[in-house]
Amino acid sequence: MNFEALVKHISTIQNTLQAQAAHAVNLALTSRNWLMGCYIVEFEQNGEDRAAYGEQLLKKLEQRLKTKGLNERRFREFRRLYLVYPQLKEQVLHYIMAGNEIRHTLSTEFTEPIRHSVCAELQTSEIQYNKWSIPAERLFNKLPYSHLKFISKIENPTKRAFYETEAIRGCWSARELEQQISSLYYERSGLSKNKEALSALVQQQATLLQPKDVINTPVTLEFLELNERALVTETDLEQAILDNLQHFLLEMGHGFCFEARQKRILIDEDYFFADLVFYHRILKCHVIVELKIDKFRHEYASQLNMYLNYFKAEVMQPDDNPPIGTLLCTEKGDTLVKYATAGLDPNIFVQKYRIELPTEEEIKVFISSSNYESYKL
């Protein structure tokens, strides 16, 4: 064996066993979090002294444990994981009982409540018979908790199955998965005639996607009544606003008068462009509307705040009221909005606009199509 062979062997060992170690950690993390969620739900439903804790249970649990990484927010995530994925019960139990150290540590008193938990028994048979559902074994082994955490937030089971399938198919990182969810990949797939072409495009570009690229992500808005086409892009969105301006104004409410699109604003030597500018004849003030085709981000509030300050200084007339800013996003977290807008102009409002959903049958057929079957075996 020469030096080059030694380097090759060491590199192979490192890559192989490091991947195995990472996989083992992922399985352990998913099992731990699912089990904690299981016991929380079981206590909430059948605990002898559950009435003494009520809605403060998770907070009291955090205070009692005093363990880094185990807090009220995490416990809520674990509970949701258990409730959304009851079919993981057998996989988790098998993982626990397969490890010698774990098996000898846990008693029958610990595992029996899990085997007979009411919630874990529900829906399991139904889930297994759906052709478009991912088998529990594949979910457990292919999607780490970092992925399940995001997907479990989705209420629609068909939509969850869609992202489970695509995440496994594309080997997405957790960040890439979050990006695809926020960019409405599921909805875009339902609206695109060539779903396989869109899927291939997304999978190809997933690792290259940057925050600045999100603005070009295809999207549809229900109130603009965009027709089905191969891909729905931001250009289509802007044109649809002009084509359906009356409908858009009705969706906004009474009193809005259209004033400008892409209103140019010169500050120092730089130009900025406000998406839509209206004047509200009842409130007697300008209303600046910013359209974002992804979820709310804190920098969006800062940008809109700058526009409002400009209008107050350069555009507002003596008898006008201060301008209002409306930010339309696909998703928004109330806590992030609260912190991002604190201290800014009080006339900034963040809203989530409606989207046109594909039918569940279309997505189910897409997920269970022949191109997907090889990934689910």
User: pLDDT tens digits, residue range 150-168?
Assistant: 999 998 888 888 889 888 8
Residue 216's contacts (CB-CB under 8 Å, 6 or more residues apart) are 233, 234
Cβ 311 vs Cβ 323: under 8 Å: yes
What number of CA atoms fall less than 13 Å from residue 308's CA on the CB side? 23
| pLDDT (0 to 100) of residue 49 | 74
**What is the rounded CA–CA span in Å between residue 226 and residue 232?**
8
Residue 108 parent element (H or E)? helix 108-115
pLDDT at residue 25, rounded to an integer: 84
DSSP helix/strand/coil, 252:
helix
CA dist 177 and 174 (Å) reads: 5
**Mean pLDDT, residues 225-251:** 57
Measuring CA to CA, which residue among 197, 139, 194, 130 is closest to residue 168? Answer: 139
> CA 159, CA 182: separation in Å to the nearest integer?
13
The dihedral through the CA atoms of 209, 214, 217, 220 has a sign that is positive
Alpha-carbon separation of residue 222 from 127, 184, 237, 247, 251 (angstroms):
31, 13, 11, 11, 10
What mean pLDDT comes out for the span 6-26?
A: 74
Q: Comparing 78 with 217, which gets the higher pLDDT?
A: 78
Instruction: Count the helix, strand and coil residues of the chain and give each as a percent rounded to the nearest 5.
Output: 60, 10, 25
Per-residue model confidence (pLDDT) at position 315: 93
Q: Are strands 285-291 and 348-352 parallel, antiparallel or unpaired?
A: unpaired
pLDDT at 153: 93
Retrieve residue 295's tokens: 């979820």
- pLDDT tier at 182, thresholds 50, 70, 90: confident
Higher pLDDT, 217 or 109: 109
Token pair belonging to 268:
């120092």
Model confidence over 322-376: pLDDT tens digits? 999 988 887 888 899 999 999 999 899 888 765 555 566 766 776 666 444 444 4
- Give the 3-state secondary structure of residue 290: strand
* Structure tokens belonging to residue 45: 């439903």
The pLDDT assigned to 204 comes to 57
Contacts of 64 (CB under 8 A, 6+ apart): none
pLDDT interval class at 67 (50, 70, 90)? confident
Q: What pLDDT, on the 0 to 100 scale, is given for residue 157? A: 85
Instruction: Quickly tell me which residue has 């998770």 as its tokens.
Output: 58
- Judged by average pLDDT, the poorest of 51-60, 241-250, 341-350 is 241-250
**Average pLDDT over all residues of the chain:** 75
Q: Output 355 or 55, whichever has higher pLDDT.
A: 55
**Exposure of 249 by Cβ count < 10 A (0-12 exposed, 13-18 middle, 19+ buried)?**
middle
CA distance 284 to 297: 29
> Where do you find CATH 3.40.1350.10 in the chain?
253-352
Per-residue confidence at 224, pLDDT binned at 50, 70, 90?
Answer: low
Residue 74 host element (H or E): helix 72-84
Comparison of pLDDT for 204 and 326, the residue scoring more: 326
Report the share of the chain in percent with pLDDT over 90. 20
Q: Measured between alpha carbons, how far is residue 372 from residues 157, 173, 189, 366, 376 in Å?
A: 17, 19, 15, 8, 7
- What pLDDT does residue 232 have? 46
By residue count, the chain amounts to: 377
Mean pLDDT of all residues in 111-117:
54
**Interior/surface letters 345-360, b for 16+ CB within 10 angstroms, e for the rest:** bebbebeebebbbbee
**Residue 284 belongs to what H/E stretch?**
none
Q: What is the pLDDT of residue 336?
A: 93
Question: For 253-280, what is each residue's pLDDT tens digit?
Answer: 667 788 888 889 999 888 999 988 989 8
pTM of the model: 0.54
Mean pLDDT of the region 286-311: 90
Write out the DSSP string of 328-356: EES---HHHHHHHHTTS-TTEEEEEPP-P
Tell me which residue has tokens 């070009």. Answer: 216
For 253-352, which CATH class?
alpha beta
Could you tell me the sign of the dihedral formed by the alpha carbons of 97, 103, 105, 107, in that order? positive
Predicted confidence band of residue 135 (pLDDT cuts 50, 70, 90): confident
